Amino acid sequence: MKFDTPAGRNPIDNLNVVGKPVDRIEGPLKVTGTATYAYEQHAAAPNAAYGYVVGAGIAKGRIVSIDVTRARAAPGVLAVVTADNAGKLDKGEFYAARALAGPDIDHYHQAVALVVAETFEQARAAAQLVAVRSERSAGAYDLDAARATARAPKQGAFGPPPETSVGQFAEAFERAPVKLDATFSTPDQAHAMMEPHATIAAWDGDKLTLWTSIQQINWGVRDIAKTLGIRKENVHVVSPYIGGGFGGKGTILSDAVLAALGARHAGRPVKVTLQRTLMFNNVTHRPATIQRIRIGAARDGKIVAIGHESWSGNLAGGRPEAATAATRLLYAGRHRMTRLRLAHLDLPEGSAMRAPGEAPGMMALEIAMDEMAEKLALDPVAFRILNDTQVDPEDPRRPFSQRAFVECLRVGAERFGWRERSNVPAGRREGQWLVGMGVAAAIRGAPVTKSAARVRLDRNGVVTVETDMTDIGTGSYTIIAQTAAEMMGLPLDQVNVRLGDSHFPESSGSGGQWGAASATAGVYAACVKLREAVARKLGFDLADAQFERGQVSQGGRSVPLARAAGEGALVAEDTMEYGELDKRYAQQTFGAQFVEVAVDAATGEIRLRRMLAVCAAGRILNPKTARSQVIGGMTMGAGAALMEELVVDKRHGFFVNHDLAGYEVPVHGDIPHQDVVFLDETDPTIAPLKAKGVGELGISGVAAAIANAVYNATGVRVRDYPITLDKLIDRLPA
């Protein structure tokens, strides 16, 4: 099926199941411990041996020698894999880092060996016997020092262009009567998901099966085949449950490659999980940025010039952090400029993390907007409303498909009690606490991508959906079940959903905020075909047939849906593909984030008191799972604002705090009451369900809203994240 004209009315609009706050259908499996995650596929891969990864102890250099003699002789050891016996290895198409060092070492904790043994404890003990002699060479580990050598990156498949220009930015900025020129920084951040990167690998002749924790099944098949030099047809990837990804499990990483190599050498299934201390330096992270924002406005508050430059670093072949993405679309302004620069750093690879681009970019942009509002003596909400635009500011001929940004701000301001905010920084005090409110915009793209599904109706009237879509804790199982139930006129308990298997039809996968809209559209397409087959089999005219409560009806005739399957099953499969509506319309999700904080007047300790997100993200397929996604994003935004920072040892080139004791993330005591409001919206230009993603919108803008609230509370402006008390304590009001 091809989607190339805006959607009209269709069976989804009945909203008998879709749009309801349904509990996650896989929830009981997860809370009872019976959901099989990658490392727990014991029945599928019995008698698996254990692999333990040895990471490089230097950040840049070469391996002079590896002596594995003692490790091979250790009790229970089945194999030791190094670059010397691994065979030729390529890289996948998405990540730049190599899974196995040798002879060159590209970054700290890059894998240099895998020890495979009968038990985990034996593998771990033997790994300590691997003697690696390496030679250190000079490396680049300091983004600020590398700024001078940063260059424009190549345009890739993801992210905005390296440079954009509309009008005469430099001249207009200089002429503007009110100007801001400020520099901000965001640190390296870790995904820190609960489930580590984990894989079980098994070979059957030249065929490889991976049970792995991965967001994009199709990318994983492609990349493991390319890395190992085998045919894609010989790869089977299975990933039914994933314990968090946030972009860090987009495709295969070192755990999958090493498990496959270990299984080949051991001659039996091998399971590998990256020990938590390797999770921070071995795999990807959100890279640090340095951002310069310039805004020029007329005295009435209308922006006339806006420029955003961002510097980030990466390994050779890596991508830049696309921090300028939001600035291109969020506010009006005739004269515009964005510029990305990429420096070579010998740190672990920087790559996608929840809302890549928007999340760190808005940490700077939305503070800058607050600073401009203050210069103009305008309320921060009013200033943002004043600079709204209903067309793409870089191409005014291209309208937004939907843009309820102003409504998000107004609804949020009313609901949050914004009128109670002190207009004077440090103007509200409650005992020892300085209290302030902050606001920030939220924006994130609403892409859709090709996605397929297969649906099967059996003689009991049960519909089974199969697609290789993944559920990374986002609720994919549930919204897919709701889609099929709505289309086929069934209660939810008459739908089975099977996900995360490369033998199923290829879906969009989870990532980029495209999963919900794309995967459900693929299920919609398959169900349209199944409805056609049912109508033919039962002798109905599809145009007038009603599918409700397990019956197919037309006129005065009603037949059970199950009868169409006969004694066997009725199967349909289709793919949703897209035309060029995304070129005719700017398709985005919008929101507004409101935060209240209290700051201890003596110590600078920051406490979040209230948080509110107002979101406009098309039809909300399931308000309960969508709300969970948004509050999860808000929580991650709080971490980014107040505590998360991978600290770089700039002498030796590694992230020092590479565990969950040193890398701080929010805990329950850090997070206050969170409220989420979804505006009643549908977007017929996206897909037949008229829905958009929401999982990455929830984090966009949050950190800046907190920073703005801290400023309102204290009068102290912090432009370098995270906002820790040491950056406040010497500057607090007397």
User: How far apart, in whole angstroms, are the C-alpha atoms of residue 565 and residue 558?
Assistant: 16
The predicted-structure confidence for 68-103, as pLDDT tens digits, reads as follows: 999 999 999 999 999 999 999 999 999 999 999 999
The predicted-structure confidence for 236-291, as pLDDT tens digits, reads as follows: 999 999 999 999 999 999 999 999 999 999 999 999 999 999 999 999 999 999 99
User: How far apart, in whole angstroms, are the C-alpha atoms of residue 236 and residue 305?
Assistant: 52
User: How far apart, in whole angstroms, are the C-alpha atoms of residue 542 and residue 531?
Assistant: 7
pLDDT for position 18: 98
Q: Decide if pLDDT at 558 tops 90.
A: yes
Phi and psi at residue 339, to the nearest 5° = -150, 125
Which residue among the candidates 195, 371, 681, 696 is catalytic per the annotation? 696
Which helix H or strand E contains 73, and what residues bound it? helix 69-73
User: In terms of Cα–Cα distance, which of 250, 211, 210 is closest to 232?
Assistant: 210
The first and second tokens of residue 143, run together, are: 């983004």
* Residues 6 or more apart in contact with residue 102 via CB below 8 angstroms: 63, 66, 82, 83, 84, 86, 112
Secondary structure E strands in 400-432: 429-430
Q: Are 724 and 549 in contact (CB under 8 A)?
A: no
The first and second tokens of residue 327, run together, are: 């600035």
How many helices, marked H, and strands, marked E, lie in the chain? 15, 32
User: In terms of Cα–Cα distance, which of 245, 241, 244 is closest to 29?
Assistant: 241
Domain ranges of the chain: 2-35+448-581, 357-446+587-731
User: How far apart, in whole angstroms, are the C-alpha atoms of residue 19 and residue 13?
Assistant: 10
Which helix H or strand E contains 467, and what residues bound it? none
Report residue 158's pLDDT band, with 50, 70 and 90 as the boundaries.
confident
Beta-carbon count within 10 A of 702 CB: 32
The predicted-structure confidence for 169-180, as pLDDT tens digits, reads as follows: 999 999 999 999
> What average pLDDT does this structure show over 420-428?
97
User: In terms of Cα–Cα distance, which of 369, 293, 428, 303 is closest to 593?
Assistant: 369
Please report where in the chains the tokens 């805006």 appear, as a residue.
Answer: 6
Q: Decide if pLDDT at 625 tops 90.
A: yes
Residue % of the chain over a pLDDT of 70? 100
The first and second tokens of residue 2, run together, are: 């091809």
Q: Are 715 and 429 in contact (CB under 8 A)?
A: no
Provide the 8-state DSSP code for 320. P
pLDDT for position 330: 98
- CA distance between the termini of the chain: 66
Q: Are 618 and 692 in contact (CB under 8 A)?
A: yes
pLDDT for position 159: 86
The predicted-structure confidence for 651-663, as pLDDT tens digits, reads as follows: 999 999 999 999 9
The CATH number of the domain covering residues in 357-446+587-731: 3.30.365.10
The first and second tokens of residue 67, run together, are: 């002596």
Phi and psi at residue 428, to the nearest 5° = -130, 125
* Residues 6 or more apart in contact with residue 264 via CB below 8 angstroms: 203
Please report where in the chains the tokens 């940004």 appear, as a residue.
Answer: 405
User: How far apart, in whole angstroms, are the C-alpha atoms of residue 389 and residue 400?
Assistant: 9
Q: From 3.90.1150.10, 3.30.70.80, 3.30.365.10, 3.40.50.300, which CATH number describes the 2-35+448-581 domain? A: 3.30.365.10
Secondary structure E strands in 56-147: 61-67, 77-81, 104-105, 111-117, 131-136
pLDDT for position 335: 98
Q: Are 116 and 270 in contact (CB under 8 A)?
A: yes
The predicted-structure confidence for 45-62, as pLDDT tens digits, reads as follows: 999 999 999 999 999 999
What are the DSSP calls for 555-614, one per residue?
TTEEEEGGGGGTTSEEEEEEEEEE-SHHHHSB-EEEEEEEEEEEEETTT--EEEEEEEEE
Phi and psi at residue 329, to the nearest 5° = -125, -15
* pTM of structure: 0.98
User: How far apart, in whole angstroms, are the C-alpha atoms of residue 29 and residue 365?
Assistant: 42
Q: Is 696 a catalytic residue?
A: yes
Cα distances (Å, whole numbers) of residue 703 to 388, 487, 680: 21, 40, 26
User: In terms of Cα–Cα distance, which of 187, 190, 246, 184 is closest to 214?
Assistant: 246
How far, in whole angstroms, is CA 645 from its chain's centroid?
18
For the chain, what is the mean pLDDT?
97
Q: Are 50 and 271 in contact (CB under 8 A)?
A: yes
User: How far apart, in whole angstroms, are the C-alpha atoms of residue 235 and residue 229?
Assistant: 11
> What average pLDDT does this structure show over 203-226?
98
Sign of CA dihedral 241, 242, 243, 246: negative
Q: Decide if pLDDT at 156 tops 90.
A: no
> What average pLDDT does this structure show over 16-22?
98
Sign of CA dihedral 36, 41, 42, 44: positive
Q: Decide if pLDDT at 734 tops 90.
A: no
Topology match between the domains 2-35+448-581 and 357-446+587-731: yes
Q: Are 691 and 698 in contact (CB under 8 A)?
A: no
pLDDT for position 169: 98
Provide the 8-state DSSP code for 345. -
**H-state helical runs in 247-402:** 254-266, 358-375, 380-386
Cα distances (Å, whole numbers) of residue 457 to 434, 492, 562: 61, 14, 7
User: How far apart, in whole angstroms, are the C-alpha atoms of residue 578 and residue 305?
Assistant: 35
The predicted-structure confidence for 668-694, as pLDDT tens digits, reads as follows: 999 999 999 999 999 999 999 999 999
pLDDT for position 556: 92
Residue % of the chain over a pLDDT of 90? 99
The predicted-structure confidence for 448-473, as pLDDT tens digits, reads as follows: 999 999 999 999 999 999 999 999 99
The first and second tokens of residue 435, run together, are: 């209290």
Burial class (CB in 10 A: 0-12, 13-18, 19+), 64: exposed
**H-state helical runs in 141-270:** 143-146, 169-175, 217-228, 254-266
Q: Decide if pLDDT at 157 tops 90.
A: no
**H-state helical runs in 476-549:** 476-488, 515-538
Burial 205-238 (b: 16+ CB within 10 A, else e): eeebbbbbbbbbbbbbbbbbbbbbeeeeebbbbb
- Give the SS3 label for residue 120: helix
User: In terms of Cα–Cα distance, which of 368, 272, 292, 247 is closest to 38?
Assistant: 272
Burial class (CB in 10 A: 0-12, 13-18, 19+), 661: exposed
